[in-house]
Amino acid sequence: MFRKIAKKILTKSPKAYTAIHNNNFERTHKQDFSKLDKKSMDILLEVKKNGYVVISNFFNKEQCQKCIDDIDDMFKNNKEFVQKQEDLRIFGAEELSENIKTFFDHSLLNKLAETYNGVPTCCAFTLAGRIETLGKDAQYGSGGPWHRDSYFRQFKSMIYLNDVDENNGPFQLIHQSHETKDHDRKIAELEHMQSSFLQEKVDKIIKNNSNRLKTLTGKAGTLVLVDTSIIHRGIPVKNGIRYALTNYFFEKSQINSHLIEHFSPLVSPEKVLNMSKTE
């Protein structure tokens, strides 16, 4: 019954539908940074304000190279788990590499994710990704076109394993677009709760304020913490290669068979499903 009513509201008044869901989300996902140490609090306050924060030297070069070696090895020897999109991907790479598991298990990242999300949260799996030059005609980089992962607040951590500049597929985003949804919708003539965006629409937002386009380059070991309700993408690779790890954090209530199917093949789907049952 509720879904039928919601569908009618969406059809007749998308604005009202969006407002209802926004209010419900904020009511059930209250953030509380008060128990964090100052460093952690400052990190999350910056993510909350700008949509992201960049931290240099989170891994040293030796750690990064060990992860790269493991990624190359698993792409060669664990092909049953390799997904080929714009890049090569393995979801659940922490199950195949102790070096990658260090990133997956990192206590600070897990604490920040749960605090930012405001509900019980876990790192379901780590994505190991490698993207290379796709040619001059490549439309998309890692992750496809401009998009939001979720319309509502969601936390992700990504680390560059090799040096990343403007040429080899850096992460790019629209500054504060997690907080300016109504403004950007009017500027770019977007739909309510839209999650995927044509370049021409993003160009309208950039034209309105060019300073909002941010390209996040960095040396090997650079950590990016991001609220993925921000508008973002990976820039198409012009030359070179990019290696990265990404921790996928989900509310425990979101972990179910549909999530497993969406990211399949996962290295250990059973492990992920069991996370919803743990305290």
Q: How many CA atoms lie within 13 A of 272 on its CB side?
A: 30
Judge whether residue 138 has pLDDT over 80.
no
**In the predicted structure, residue 229 carries a pLDDT above the cut 90:** yes
Spatial separation of the C-alpha atoms in residues 178 and 153, rounded to whole Å: 8
User: Does a structural domain hold residue 260?
Assistant: yes
Q: Are 91 and 3 in contact (CB under 8 A)?
A: no
In tens, the pLDDT along 260-277 reads 999 999 999 999 999 987
On the question of pLDDT at 54 being above 90, the answer is yes
Task: Tell me which residue has tokens 């997956």.
Answer: 104
Residue 17 forms part of a structural domain: no
pLDDT beyond 60 at 1: no
- Expressed as residue numbers, the domain containing 251 is 41-275
* Model confidence at 6: pLDDT above 60: no
Q: Tell me the H-state helices in the chain.
A: 2-12, 14-28, 38-50, 61-77, 98-104, 107-117, 181-188, 199-208, 257-263, 269-275
The pLDDT confidence band at residue 196, using thresholds 50, 70 and 90, is very high
Q: Is residue 22 part of a domain?
A: no
Residue in 68, 91, 71 with CA at minimum distance from that of residue 81: 91
Residue 270 CA to residue 260 CA, distance in Å, equals 9
Q: Is residue 15 part of a domain?
A: no
Instruction: Between 159 and 5, name the one with better pLDDT.
Output: 159
Percent of the chain with pLDDT over 90: 80
**Most distant CA pair in the chain: distance in Å?**
57
pLDDT greater than 90 at residue 176: yes
210 CB-near residues (< 8 Å, 6+ apart): none
Q: Is the pLDDT of residue 25 over 90?
A: no
Question: 141 pLDDT exceeds 70?
Answer: no
pLDDT (average), residues 142-157: 91
Helices and strands: H and E segment counts in the chain: 10, 12
Tell me if 28 is assigned to some domain: no
Counting Cβ atoms within 10 Å, is residue 2 exposed (0-12), middle (13-18) or buried (19+)?
A: exposed
pLDDT per position as a tens digit, 81-102: 999 988 899 999 999 999 999 9
Does the residue 1 lie in any domain?
no
Residue 71 inside a domain? The answer is yes
Q: How confident is the model at residue 155 (pLDDT cuts 50, 70, 90)?
A: very high
Lowest-pLDDT range of 10-24, 31-45, 50-64, 217-231? 10-24
**Helix (H) or strand (E) run with residue 245 in it:** strand 241-251
CATH of the domain at 96: 2.60.120.620
Cβ–Cβ under 8 Å, residues 266 and 272: yes
Q: What's at 80, amino acid-wise?
A: E
Q: What average pLDDT does this structure show over 36-62?
A: 98
Q: What is the DSSP letter of 227?
A: E
**Which residues, in sequence order, are CB contacts of 2 under 8 Å at separation 6+?**
none
Is 3 among the domain residues?
A: no
Average pLDDT over residues 134-155: 81
